[in-house]
Homo-oligomer: A and B are copies of this chain.
């Protein structure tokens, strides 16, 4: 730490020090990525273990970077769950990749805030082009316009708000809810929890959300939608919006978009398509059947930050009617006016936050570095891993699949012969999950399907290979069959 001209007495890391430390970090970063699979996937710390090691009060004087970095390695890293571990099979992935990390380094260095065109022309225009690339890559109609949001939760909220405003001719924005109109929103029991959160935030109330029953494959049933709409209309409700999910969070079920879309179109209902995870699979022409009927959709979201090797956060939100999206959110205080404002995109008006990071750069680096064919090959290999794992489950007499496997999530459970009590099976599988994750050798999560406790393995991590998936199966089978877990489960 040296003094710097212009700030007498105030130490700040010099440029030379920054350069030295950054090189040091790069070696740690490359080592980390190389060795990540030697860490326990899920952190082994308990609640309070980490915070107890961080001082209660901030330091009055600056500390040497060497100390800070050592604390990072010794205190923080052991408390992390390693999302880039190839045996991270939990939730949906939040993949990064080398080109994405490189882009994030540059983004952090420039530190540009991209709210308006003028505040970052290149970031704005690169975002516009990258959204065109993603639209083409996923087979969306060219009439869709894209914008990057932080998460699919936010994108879904934007969809519901825009639906609300377009339907009311922007009167809720202007005057609040009127006293006469009661709106309803449709989704399935398997749709993501963010739908309910969005319905609440938008002031519609959770009671307005119709969670429709699903079919045997956990997909929405068009007849149920039709019936619910008819019932609501007869009771004086106004059906406003429906959410179709391509790849539900529980079991990656695929709602029948075309038939749902026809119904929505007939009733003038905004159709939002949540493909947060599965959207990446649309890069494969052979998976485009999943969005047959997309021409009926008003909005569509998928997250390159899940499966497409692009650092969180980066959610691609597409709309058919960009003008209504902008009109829902636009604000134009004097201090944000610029001469060219009518000839450019000012993405601050395309969502909730005013400030925006430069998120298009990592997409550009990822897409160009892998190439579309390179991305496809990797996605295809993930699909094949899931098929191989599900074959193993299907062939084992003491395991069973609990849902179809259209993509990379496998929902299954241990079900040894003679154990048929539902509660016992749930307890047993819950104990199995716990034992597996405590091993540190993999991380899987669970869900409930038809009331049953289901183990859930998602084979989409950037670094996963067939060997990791095979090792996971070996470990799961061996752990399940070991006396301890059975005993634990039976207690």
Contacts and interface: CB of A to CB of B under 8 A. Distances in A.
Contact of A110 (B17, B83, B100, B112): B83
A202 B203 contact: yes
Interface string A32-74: 1110000000110111111100101111111101011100100
Contacts of A476: none
A340 interface: yes
Interface residues of A, number: 172
Interface stretch (A225-233, A259-267, A370-378, A478-486): A370-378
Contacts of A17: 98
A75 to B, nearest CB: 7
Interface stretch (A6-14, A289-297, A388-396, A412-420): A6-14
Interface in A331-383: 331-336, 339-340, 343-344, 352-355, 357, 361, 364-365, 367-374, 377-378, 381
How many copies make up the complex? 2
A154 B49 CA distance: 31
A200 interface: yes
Interface string A68-105: 11001001111111111000001100111111111011
A14 to B, nearest CB: 8
By secondary structure, the A interface counts as helix
A29 interface: yes
Nearest to A119: B81
Interface in A261-299: none
A30 B24 CA distance: 13
18 contacts: A6-B465, A7-B378, A7-B465, A15-B33, A15-B98, A18-B33, A47-B343, A50-B125, A54-B125, A62-B371, A63-B369, A77-B122, A82-B110, A91-B113, A94-B112, A111-B311, A157-B352, A201-B202
